[in-house]
């Protein structure tokens, strides 16, 4: 699949999700979906899986299936993660070595392609997670929005995906 097609697919998925959640929602304590400011979860931050389970009210079987799906996707993202890291390093090396603008641009383009590939993996995985849900769970716009934002950077850590989300991105 060409990079342009991947980007178009990602944009389409994002637009569909955003239209699903376009109506206004009440904010909880001024924070996003993955954390609690002392309310219902006692003031501690939730991991990605805990957030998904709480937001969608997953049953035991669904939680097990979602965890297995995300474990598999994390393992499958290793090559893309490694390529993304290498492309990022190539940009730094090109700049540090005073390479020509054309060489720097080529490194940036390669990085963009790897970032698009990682985003495609994240969105494909989100679609698979949503398929595990019952229709009424999928209609929970706040939970879908939370899941959408939880997916960004989920596979960047080579050791684990189920952590308290941070501001890491690519």
Stronger pLDDT, 143 or 10, i.e. the higher one: 143
Domains in the chain: boundaries: 48-77+113-170
Closest to 121 measured CA to CA, from 86, 162, 61, 79 = 79
Q: Which residue has the tokens 């390093």?
A: 89
In this model, does residue 59 exceed pLDDT 50? yes
Burial degree of 23 (CB within 10 A; 0-12, 13-18, 19+): exposed
pLDDT single digits (tens) 93-136: 999 999 999 999 999 999 999 999 999 999 999 999 999 999 99
* Mean pLDDT, residues 70-98: 96
- Higher pLDDT: 25 or 17? It is 17
- Taking only the tens place, the pLDDT of each residue in 152-169 is 999 999 999 998 887 767
Asked if 122 contacts 151 with a C-beta cutoff of 8 angstroms, the reply is yes
Structural tokens at position 121: 């993996």
């Amino acid at each position: 699949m060409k990079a342009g097609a991947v980007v178009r697919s990602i944009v389409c998925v994002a637009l569909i999700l955003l239209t699903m959640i376009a109506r206004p929602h009440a904010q909880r304590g001024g924070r996003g979906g993955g954390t609690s400011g002392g309310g219902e979860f006692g003031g501690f931050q939730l991991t990605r899986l805990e957030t998904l389970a709480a937001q969608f009210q997953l049953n035991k079987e669904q939680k097990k299936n979602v965890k297995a799906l995300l474990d598999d996707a994390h393992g499958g993202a290793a090559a893309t993660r490694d390529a993304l890291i290498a492309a990022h390093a190539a940009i730094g090396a090109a700049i540090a070595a005073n390479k020509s603008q054309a060489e720097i641009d080529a490194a940036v383009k390669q990085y963009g392609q790897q970032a698009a590939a990682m985003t495609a993996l994240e969105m494909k995985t989100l679609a698979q997670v949503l398929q595990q849900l019952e229709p009424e769970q999928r209609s929970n716009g706040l939970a879908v929005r939370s899941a959408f934002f939880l997916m960004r950077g989920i596979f960047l850590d080579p050791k684990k995906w189920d952590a308290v989300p941070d501001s890491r991105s690519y």
